[in-house]
Structure 1
Amino acid sequence: MPQPPSVASRDEPVIRDRGDACPGALRLHAADDGLLARVRIPGGLLTVEQASVLGLAADRFGDGHLELTSRGNIQLRGLTQACGAGLAELLTAAGLLPVPTHERVRNIVATPVSGVFDDGRPDVTPWVGELDRLLCASARAAALSGRFLFALDDGRGDVAALDPDVTALALPAGRALIRLGAGDGALEVAAADAPRAALLAAEYFLDAADSTGTRAWRVAELPARQGLDERELGRRLVAAGIDAVPVAEVRWPYAPPPRPWGSGAGGSTALCVLPPLGRFDTAQWEVLVQVASHGDGGLRITPWRTVVLPPASAGEPVDREPVERAALIEAAGLVIGADDPWQSVTACTGRPGCAKSLADVRADARAVVTGSAGALPVHWSGCERRCGHPRGAAWVDLVATGDAYALSVHGRDPVPVGRDALAAALKAARDSSHGDGDRGKRQ
């Protein structure tokens, strides 16, 4: 019976004898429903024009759908063998493919509501463009795996909880913390130096992976006895002209993912939109782009498969705009209500798109979504790989076993559940409070 995912001991090094197989926009992945392209969206930040191009690409080359990933990127599916050059040309013209040699390593997540609300927190969105520019300009960084992850957090602790390899956490008074992996310590730097410090931390990881002979893809794969030394990173930062102060123990903050909001408009014109199971058809996407065109700041794809739309522009009729925006979104079948049953329900591709899947997990999720709502997130997986499962917080794990599912909560032993009992068993699991107190242990 499948077991819930666990963290391997760092005393047992993971030896990589090949590069990772993560798809990109140029290196397409062959799936059962055609080729798949994964377009990196650093920080999840899209202009309205770029979003329009992605919708065009989905219609012209793919199956007419756009999928959000757990790293705030976008996937196009059902692509044909002949689409490669045309897709690359379209994405390059839109600024979505700036450097072909680095397109798979631009894995940057950022606090999606940073700068949206006047809450006194630093705005880390400028860090995104600077880190992306530095990353693309570094020949060394091209050796990073497609799974290496940068997190730029505005201090609330949302993306810092996603098991990033390098975290830059904003502090008050123009300061920031830089952390490698999940260690307790960090280095404090000036906020203006945070993007460059994050890149230098990644380059230090690459040197360590080479010197240990592991060719590790991620920081957590390095064995503890040959792992990274914050003092060495500090020396590298100082040598690069960055004043870095060691901080021995940091109490890392934690914030839950943003829930969908905007139904009834309330007093805010910002919206957080959830497409059921993280998937838009191009008609829904066009509505989203239309609504975003009336706002300030384009679209922000989140690592929780939602989209944040900043407030309406100052020139819009404030007394009417929020209601119209919300009405358009809801009429398209998209979710902006925090209590909607689709809240925190995710799934892998499943059948028929994935040959490894043992079930059509999306169809099974739709069949029971109304009767299985609960507090905890749930992820449906067609096999033991659990592609796209949540990170950080507690979640309910459903893994297809053929004619049934294995269900587990918070690392408990999984129990078999037949399809006829799925709704009731899933609701009970999602309402479970067991383990809530240790939701921040992985920070």
Structure 2
Amino acid sequence: MLAAMSDSAPSPRSTGALPVPSGGDACPGTLRLHRADDGALARVRLPGGVLTTAQAEALLAAAGRFGDGELHLTSRGNVQLRGLGPGCGAELAGALGRAGLLPSDAHERVRNIVASPLSGLDGRGLPDIRSWLTGLDAALCGSEHATGLSGRFLFALDDGRGDVDALGADVALIADGGSALLRVGSDDAVFRVPAADAPRAALLAAEAFLGPARESGAWRVKDLPDGARAALPGEVARRVGPVGPAVHRARPPAAHPPAPGPVSGPHGLTALCAGVPLGRLAPAQWRLLTDVARRGSGELRLTPWRGVVLPGLAEADAAEALRTLAGAGLITGPDSPWTGVGACIGHPGCAKSLADVRAEAGAAVGPLGRLPVYWSGCERRCGHPHGEWIDVVATGDGHRISHVRGDGREAPVTVRDDPAALAAAVAAARA
């Protein structure tokens, strides 16, 4: 049974799990709320971003009862509730637990799984990885050792199109014909495992990471010392065993989210893809998305690009719903000026932010740019994208704009406090 929790960190169960690294993993969850300038924050993990309409209604009710009423999408397909009042932790946990959103209090912050959001929906003939998603989540929640993972550790389940494999997960499964490729960290060498064994292999890979993580204090594979990181694939192969010989498969340099609009799929059904400007959904917008989902398969899939996929609609229903979603301010086509625009929460929600970057991003929205742009209120760049993008960071001297390509970036340009000049510089960089 789910234990009722306060706003403070929960008391861990006696699980026999490996000790977590020292230093305090402050990554927020639902049972461990984060104090922000606009109130407490809860991050609700949704493996694969998948929600039933009943769960979506429960999240909306919780946002209205305990928080600011809005639902904030994250770069991992999760939902954040903001503006939470003091002392609401136990009631919030109880409400979300009854909706099936907290299957294990000991694992709630480690259920970080992104999955290809169009898997099984677009008729491309790629494998449907839903069984991997449910299998990995169940295996994760059943593992005592997995409670030692940090709230930042990430799994990716890719159906072969390369979308979520590009997101820099710690452990990735990539569908490849009738089998799965297992990637650990950013290593281009991957192991081939039977498709049916893929969730178990991913869990064993994560558990193998915990040994060197405990010794080094690393939260993620990329944080391990060079020697430990180089030795990890071999330890994973030993634990998973027997695996095929390692093969080379480079991780895609950039992720390509589902294009906004309708997607034709099997059985004459259509999925709708909608982007959410700055990942922020008002109650009416969330309610509308839930209503559309109810007319389809009864499911919402939140994407790591702060969007929503609504599967299983008849073609006529999809066309009508698309017009309704566009009228509600959502991104429903590739020509929206909001396409590719993102921002952290900024001021006044975050005490570390030096600017109201969401308002600045909105003021600078103009012609559609070739490259995505992400506005950050400080050097932490919370929630920034991967691959190639335009990085706009508020500083004490104004805003620094740079072009990021993978791990490198071009020389930055600094724009002082001039909104018109800032918008022009960002537009030029995106072009």
Fold match (TM-score > 0.5): yes
Per-residue CA deviations over 1:404-426 (Å, capped at 9, x if unaligned) read 21100121121111323012111
Displacement of 1:231 after TM fit? 2.8
1:388: which partner in 2?
383
Rounded to whole Å, the distance in 1 between the matches of 2:188 and 2:333 is 36
Counterpart for residue 187 of structure 2: 183
CA contact (8 A) 2:285 2:328 kept: yes
**Structure 1 residues 28-37 or 17-26, which shifts more?**
17-26
Does residue 341 (structure 1) correspond to residue 340 (structure 2)? The answer is no
Asked if structure 1 preserves the Cα contact closer than 8 Å seen for 2:216 and 2:225, the reply is: no
Secondary structure, counterpart of 1:380 in structure 2: strand
Distance 1:350 1:229 in 2: 37
Listed one character per residue, the Cα deviations across residues 39-87 of structure 1 (whole Å, up to 9, x for unaligned) are 0000111111111111111111110110000111000000011211111
- Contact between 2:374 and 2:390, CA under 8 Å: does it hold in 1? yes
- 2:126 is matched with which residue? 121
> Partner letter of residue 353 of structure 1?
G
* Residue 64 (structure 2) aligns with: 59
- How does 1:267-346 map onto structure 2 within 5 Å? 269-296=270-297, 298-312=299-313, 318=315, 320-346=316-342
SS in 2 for 1:270: strand
2: distance between equivalents of 1:257 and 1:246? 31
The residue aligned with 1:50 is 55
Task: Say if 1:156 and 1:253, in contact at 8 Å, map to a contact too.
Answer: no
Distance 1:260 1:384, change over 3 A: same
Q: For residue 297 of structure 1, report the CA deviation from its aligned partner.
A: 5.2
User: Counterparts of 1:386 and 1:125 in 2: how far apart (Å)?
Assistant: 31
Is the 1:359–1:402 contact (alpha carbons within 8 Å) kept by the matching residues of 2?
no
2:117 to 90, 104, 112: 112
Segments of structure 1 that go 5 or more residues without pairing to the other structure are: 1-14, 432-443
- In structure 1, what residue type is equivalent to 2:344? C
Alignment check: 8 A CA contact 2:38 2:83 kept: yes
Match of 2:393 in 1: 399
* Distance apart, 1:258 and its partner CA: 1.5
Q: Distance in 2 between matches of 1:415 and 1:69?
A: 28
- Give the count of matched residue pairs: 400
> Does 1:92 find its partner at 2:97?
yes
In the alignment, what sits opposite 1:423? 423
Judge which range, 194-203 or 329-338, deviates more. Answer: 329-338
Cα distance in 2, alignment partners of residues 19 and 259 from structure 1: 39
Q: Distance in 2 between matches of 1:282 and 1:359?
A: 26
Give the stretch that moved more between structures: 190-199 or 328-337.
Answer: 328-337
- Could you report, residue by residue, the CA deviation over 1:324-351 in whole angstroms, capped at 9, with x for unpaired residues? 2112212211111111000011100111
- For 1:230-280, what per-residue CA distance to the aligned partner results, in whole angstroms no more than 9, with x for missing partners? 232222112xxxx411224224456512121249xxx97311111110100
1:235 is matched with which residue: 232, 235, 238? 238
**1:350 counterpart residue number:** 346
Q: Which amino acid aligns with 2:324?
A: L
- The answer to whether the 8 Å contact 1:234/1:245 transfers is no
Partner of 2:412: 414
| Aligned-residue CA RMSD (Å) | 1.7
1:260-271 matched pairs, under 5 angstroms: 260-262=260-262, 269-271=270-272
Aligned mates of 1:23, 1:145 — CA distance in 2: 11
Q: Which TM-score applies when normalising by structure 1?
A: 0.87
Partner of 1:141: 146
Of the candidates 198, 202, 218, which is equivalent to residue 202 of structure 2? Answer: 198
**Which residue identity does 2:143 align to in structure 1?**
S
- Kept in 2: contact 1:19–1:145 (CA 8 A): no
Higher relative contact order (CA 8 A, sep 6+): 1
What amino acid sits opposite 2:165 in the alignment?
A: A
Give the letter for the 2:140 counterpart.
Answer: L
Cα distance in 2 between the residues matched to 1:209 and 1:107: 17
Deviations 1:422-441 (A, max 9, x none): 1211111011xxxxxxxxxx
Is the Cα contact below 8 Å between 2:47 and 2:111 reproduced in 1?
Answer: yes
| Separation in structure 2 between the aligned mates of residue 145 and residue 345 of structure 1, nearest angstrom | 29
The TM-score, its normalising length taken from structure 2, stands at 0.90
Structure 2 equivalent of residue 220 of structure 1: 222
Contact 1:357 1:383 in 2 (8 A): yes
Give a deviation string over 1:89-117, Cα, whole Å, max 9, x none. 11001110010011000000000000112
In 2, distance between residues paired with 1:403 and 1:282?
A: 37
Report the alpha carbon displacement of residue 16 of structure 1 after superposing the two structures with TM. Answer: 5.7
- Conserved? CA contact 2:115–2:158, under 8 Å: yes
Is the Cα contact below 8 Å between 2:353 and 2:377 reproduced in 1?
Answer: yes
Letter aligned with residue 184 of structure 1: D
Counterpart contact for 1:155–1:253, Cα < 8 Å: no
In structure 2, relative to structure 1, the CA distance for the partners of 1:415 and 1:16 (3 Å cut) is farther
Deviation at 1:222, TM superposition (A): 0.9
- Confirm or deny: 8 A CA contact 1:259 1:343 kept in the other structure: no
Distance 1:229 1:337, change over 3 A: same
Check the 8 A contact 2:366/2:427 in 1, yes or no. no
Tell me, what secondary structure is at the counterpart of 1:385? coil
Asked if structure 2 preserves the Cα contact closer than 8 Å seen for 1:150 and 1:166, the reply is yes
Q: Tell me how far apart the structure 1 counterparts of residues 84 and 234 of structure 2 sit (CA, whole Å).
A: 47
C-alpha distance after superposition, 1:370-413 (max 9, x if no partner): 25x3010100001111111002x200000012462110012112
> Does structure 2 retain, via aligned residues, the 8 Å contact 1:330–1:336?
yes
* Aligned residue in 1 for 2:12: none
Distance 1:420 1:403 in 2: 16
Taking the aligned partners of 1:283 and 1:252, their CA distance within structure 2 comes to 39
Percent identical pairs in the alignment equals 56
Distance 2:361 2:175 in 1: 38
Runs of at least 5 residues in structure 2 that lack an aligned partner in the other structure: 1-19
Could you say which structure has the higher strand fraction?
Answer: 2
